[in-house]
Chain A
């Protein structure tokens, strides 16, 4: 069955500390992979995406993610977290060819301590 797992429901980090949010997927075909961020009362904003090519992708706001096919993972990282990064983060997978029937993980809520 197709699924996306974000093992960490909540993560708390101090401002300036590094961050890694985990995402594992189960998908029959070669997936498109995405990380979205949702701030309180806001819609989803795309942080970064992986379609093909270089497995380390750079996104907005200083985020990056690495696709590891052997581990079926697409973890999100940031070297130094800012207080404004506090939000909920969703990993999603979709099929190649743009069917857009995304499967979302359950999300990781990030809290940043001053």
Chain B
């Protein structure tokens, strides 16, 4: 199984600012994803991070708000832009390789004040 490291593990940010979350995997993986878990809610897929091309966003999520980079097969970033308190959530990086289950990082707990 892949080992996924997310940074930061938590942060408290001022509204109107942006935060970039990093996801590092210990091996090359084809698929990387970003999920959001709002307080008391389940996980919702934000986007698929595609290596060398623009991310594929799910309905309700846009690139201007959640720009994603994936420069190689082991690393991705998610930026939460122009934050508001409604963006307070846990953001999780997920990876998968082949026809198996997805693995998740420990998450970044974001609080916007």
> Which residues in A have some Cβ–Cβ distance to B below 8 Å?
32, 34, 36, 41-46, 49, 51, 90, 92, 94, 97-98, 100-102, 104-107
Whether the pair B102, A102 counts as a contact (CB closer than 8 A) is yes
- Report which of A32, A46, A94, A106 forms a contact with B103, defined as CB distance below 8 A: A46
Chain A residues lying within 8 Å of B107, measured Cβ to Cβ, are 42-43
Segment from B13-21, B39-47, B66-74, B77-85 that makes contact with A = B39-47
In the complex, which residue of chain B has the Cβ closest to the Cβ of A6?
A: B42
Residues of chain B at interface, number, CB under 8 A: 25
Chain B residues lying within 8 Å of A45, measured Cβ to Cβ, are 104
Chain A residues lying within 8 Å of B33, measured Cβ to Cβ, are 100
**7 closest residue pairs by CB, A with B:** A43-B106, A44-B104, A98-B99, A104-B42, A104-B43, A43-B104, A106-B42
Q: Is B76 in the interface zone, CB < 8 Å from A?
A: no
Most buried by A among B42, B48, B105, B106: B42
How would residues 74 to 112 of chain B score, 1 for a CB under 8 Å from any chain A CB and 0 otherwise?
A: 000000000000000000101010111111111101000
- Report which of A51, A90, A100 forms a contact with B102, defined as CB distance below 8 A: A100
Chain B residues lying within 8 Å of A107, measured Cβ to Cβ, are 42
Q: Is B63 in the interface zone, CB < 8 Å from A?
A: no
